Amino acid sequence: MAQNELNIIVCIKACAYQINQEDITSQQESCGFNTFDRTALECGFRLRSEFGGRVDVLSIGPRASVTEMRETLAMGADRAVLLQDPVLKNYDLPTMARVLSAAINAMAPYDLVLFGFDRDTADNRQAWPLVARMLDLPLITEVQRIEQTSSGLLLQRSVDQVQTSYGIGLPAVVAISSSEFTTRELGVFGISAAFEDLEVDIWSLSSLNLNVNTIKDQETKLSSSQVISIAPKSDISRAKIPSSDTVKPIKELSLHTG
């Protein structure tokens, strides 16, 4: 592998939006993956385009998720792995994180694990810390820009008008902000390809040497990252305060943050 190439794993979540009511026992579902997961996938594609390497996609979901995984291949993913096992039908967050962590390790070597960021989804926000902790990797969320350095990555995020830069070594886990990346459209030919026989790897727990007991017994570790700088998004924020009869008029109030 060339020095600057990045092997990237993008974790997406298949969401059921329709169930076949005529055959409840089959639990046949139509699935799609979230918009913010598409954002993480697009970020992976752009990083591959800039630095080289590969983009693999990983998901836990029902068999119906194969169509969505084929769509990621049609969009340009190098590999798609779907974790599908009866035990995972009603999984909780710790179980999901343990299985994802085991699958990520099985897909090694990798440099970067990407998730999509969504402030409104509680499960989504809790998934990355668990996975990062179990992999013993640093985690940065709400990332809006990624640059590669000689020692790893330089990440930028902006939260509550404060822009922060982080230096982080590889491998690492990163949650991508949906505000910075516009996802690509498949088009007619891409949609057609998504329904062709594109190969999706189907893994079960046994594929990862896991069973119901082992996924409950794994221990987790903490890791850390280094903050390089914290700076206000703009130097000065100004707010105008109306005058009153009882208070001396204030024409302008300058708020300095940092």
Q: Determine the Cα–Cα distance for residues 36 and 64; give it in Å rounded to an integer.
A: 20
- 190 burial type by CB count under 10 A (0-12 exposed, 13-18 middle, 19+ buried): middle
Q: Determine the Cα–Cα distance for residues 143 and 166; give it in Å rounded to an integer.
A: 10
What H or E segment, with its residue span, contains residue 220?
none
Q: Residue for token digits 């009511």?
A: 21
- 169 burial type by CB count under 10 A (0-12 exposed, 13-18 middle, 19+ buried): middle
**Structural contact between residues 166 and 146, judged by C-beta atoms closer than 8 angstroms:** no
Second-level CATH architecture of 6-233: 3-Layer(aba) Sandwich (3.40)
What is the residue-level pLDDT of the chain in tens, covering all 258 positions? 445 899 999 999 866 555 554 443 334 455 566 778 888 999 999 999 999 999 999 999 888 888 889 889 988 999 999 999 988 877 788 888 999 999 999 999 999 999 998 766 655 567 889 999 999 999 999 899 999 988 899 999 888 888 899 999 999 999 998 666 666 665 554 555 555 668 999 999 999 999 877 766 554 444 445 566 666 665 544 445 444 554 444 444 444 444
Sorted by where each begins, the domain ranges of the chain are 6-233
